[in-house]
Amino acid sequence: MKNKLILPILMASAILVSCKEEMKQRNIEMTYPETVKKPVIDTLFGTEVVDNYRWLEDDRSKETEDWVKAENAVTFDYLSKIPYREQLKSRLSELWNYEKVGRPFKEGDYTYFYKNNGLQNQYVVYRKKGDSDAEVFLDPNTFSEDGTTSLGSLSFSEDGKTAAYAISEGGSDWRKIIVMDAESKLIKEDTLVDVKFSGISWYKNEGFYYSSYDKPKGSELSAKTDQHKLYYHKLGTSQKEDAVIFGAKASEKHRYVGGYVTEDNKYLVITASVSTSGNKLFIKDLEAKNNKLVTVLDHVKSDTYVTKNKGSKLYLVTNLDAPNKKVVTVDFKNPTQENWKDLIPETENVLSLSSGAGYFFAEYMVDAVSKVLQYDFEGKLIREVKLPGVGSSGGFGGKTDAKELYFSFTNYSTPGSLYKFNPKDGTYETYWKPAVDFNSDAYTSKQVFYTSKDGTKVPMIITHKKGVELNGKNPTILYGYGGFNISLTPSFSIANAVWMEQGGVYAVPNLRGGGEYGKKWHIAGTQLRKQNVFDDFIAAAEYLIENKYTSSDYLAIRGGSNGGLLVGATMTQRPELMKVALPAVGVLDMLRYHTFTAGAGWAYDYGTANDSKEMFDYLKGYSPVHNVKEGVKYPATMVTTGDHDDRVVPAHSFKFAAELQAKQTGSNPTLIRIETNAGHGAGTPVAKTIEQYSDIFGFTLFNMGFDQLPNPPKSKIKS
C-alpha cells in the first residue's frame, strides 16, 4: 500500500464557520464546525482512496480535542432548542426509578446478588448469610465521583473467602483487577493493571487465570492489539511474576485467548481465536505431574468449548458439522473429534446451553423465542420447562450441588422477572417481580415474516400500544444489528417503553448475519454477502411502510456498533427511505477498521481491504464513510459515540459526521453527539444513559415534525 500526505487545504485547526443553513420548518439556523481537510491518499489494488479526515484518528491530539468540543457545542445547542427534551428526561427518570435485582449465586457461606435501587449509576453487589439481612459487599458507585468507573467481572476462590474483581474506568476495555478478602472486604495485594478482554478464573484458593495484551505503543485507545496472552496470578505475588501460560510463542500467537478452570479444579481449558468466530481448543490436566497441553481442536473452523466434566468425561458444546450447535462427550485421554459422541444432537433450532444442580438446560431459539428443555448428564430428556409466556429466558445456571436454580423471563412489553426453579420436579415460583410504572397489558407484540430482496423470509417483532391506528403516521424506530452470530431476542427496555408511551412503534427484525437460525444464517450476512444484511433491513422498513405502521416521514433507523454500520450503510444507500438515522458507536470506515485495537478480529464477518481486489471493491462499495455523496439529501442524523471507546474507535463516527456535514444537501441536521469519559457502552452510568435517550428520542420526534410530545402524560411529566 502506498501512503502519501497532501498538504492541508485549509487551516489546521477546527474553527467554527457559519454555513448559514436554515432549518426552515424549525427556524433553527445551523452553524457547523469547519472540519479541516488534510487529504491522505492510499493506493489499494491500483485504486487511489482519498481520506480527508485521517487526522481525526489521532485521539491524543489537541486538534481532535478541539474538534470534539466544537461539534458537541453545536449538537447540544441544537438539542437545547427541542421543547420537550426535559420532559422526556423527566419521564425516563420516573420510569427508570424502580428496584432491579439480578439472579442470586452462592459463594462460600454467602448468597450474593446484584441490585440497583432505581437511579443508581451502577448496580451494587449485596450478600446475605442464611436468613440474615443483606449487606453491601461492593458498591461501584463509590469507585468514582461521576459514576464512570464500573464493575466488570467478579469471581471467587473455591472456598469463597477471596474475591477478585475487575473495574473499567471511563468505559475503557482496559481493566484493573483488585483482590479482596471477602470476609473483611479489605484489599489483599497490589492491583493488577492493563488487563483486556479477560475473565477471572480461579484455581482452588491459590490464584487465578486472566488474559491480556502487552500495553501498546502510542494510544492505548486506538493502537492495534493482536497478541493475546493467558496469565496465571498466584496470590501473594506481584503481577510482574505472573507466568504466561499460553500466547507468548510465535506458534501460539492469537488475537483472543481465554482460559478457565473446570468446577472440580481438575482441568484448565484454553481457547484461542484469530477472529470473533472460530476457536482452537486445548486442555490441561492440572492434577497430573506431566501436565502438558492436550489439543482437542487444532483449527478455527468451529466454535467449541468445554461446558462441564464428570471425572475424565468432557462435555463439549460445538457447531462443528452442526450449524445450530449440539452437545458431545469425549474422554480426556482421547479428546479429538473422531472420538466425540453426540449427547444432545443438533436440531433445527439454535442451542444455548447452561448447567446447574446436575442437569443441562438446553435453551432453543424458535423464531427468536425461547424454548427450554432439561436433560440429565446421560442425555436423557427430563422435561420441557414451561415458561411464563412468549419471550426470552435466561439463567438456569449454577454449581453442580445447587438445590435450586434461578431464571429470568422478559419480552418487549414485559419487564424482566426472576423465578426460583426446583430442578427435581420442574416447578418454579416468582422470586422477584419489578414494580414498574408501566402497564404491559396496554401493549402488544406481533411477529411477522417479510420477504427480503432475494426472496429470503425474515422474522420481525413489532411492538406498540394496543389500538394504534395503522395510518402511516406513527413515529417508528426500526432497530437492527445483523452480525457476529448475535441474536436479538425479545427483552424489555425502559427507554423503549417511554418511546411506546408516546405512541411510538418499535420494530426489531432478525437480520441475516445474526445467530437466530444458526451458523448458516450468520454466514449469509458476512464478507461478500454483507449486502444481504442491509437488504433485509431495507425490506423491513418497506414492510412497515407498506403495511401503514409508518411512512418515510415518520421512520427512524437505529443500531449500535455493527448495528451502527447497518444504519450508516442503509442511510447512504436509501437516504429517502427514512426521516431520521441514529448510528451509534458504529463501524463506519470499512477500509481501515482492521487497523485499530482488536478490529482485525472482525475480519471473519467483514473481510479486509487488503484481502483481495474483490474484497476491497466490495467494502468500498458500502463503507459509509466512503459513500456519502455531494448533493444528496440525507435524513436527519445524530451520530453518537464515546470519546473513550477503545473497541470501535470514535474516529469512525468522527469521519462519518465530517463527511455528512460537508456534503449534506437540504435542511436536515447532521450532528454528532460525543459522550465524554465514556466507552463502547458497557458500564455507562444510568444518569448518562437517561440523558442520551432523552436526546435521541427528542431529536427523532423533533425531526418528524412534532412540536410537542405526541402523548404527554398530564400529571407525571413537567415542562
User: Mind telling me the catalytic residues?
Assistant: 561, 680
Residues composing the chain = 719
DSSP string, 526-557: SGGGTHHHHHHHHHHHHHHHHTTS--GGGEEE
- Alpha helices (runs of H) in 502-633, residue ranges in sequence order: 519-523, 531-546, 562-573, 603-606, 613-622
Which grid coordinates are listed for 672?
A: 454528532
Query: Where do we find the cell 469519559?
Result: 677
Angle at 272 between CA 268 and CA 273, to 5 degrees: 155
Q: What Cα–Cα distance (Å) separates residue 2 from each residue in 53, 222, 532, 610?
A: 17, 22, 32, 12
Q: What are phi and psi of 309, to 5 degrees?
A: -145, 155
Hey, what amino acid is at 718? K
Count the helices and strands in the chain (H runs, E runs). 10, 43
Give strand pairing partners of 174: 196
Residues whose CB falls within 8 Å of the CB of residue 670, separated by 6 or more in sequence, listed in order: 32, 634, 636, 637, 639, 657, 660, 661, 664
E-state strands within 36-87: 40-44, 47-51
Map 83-130 to HEC letters: CCHHHHHHHHHHHHCCCEECCCEEECCEEEEEEECCCCCCCEEEEECC
Coil/strand/helix, residue 625: helix
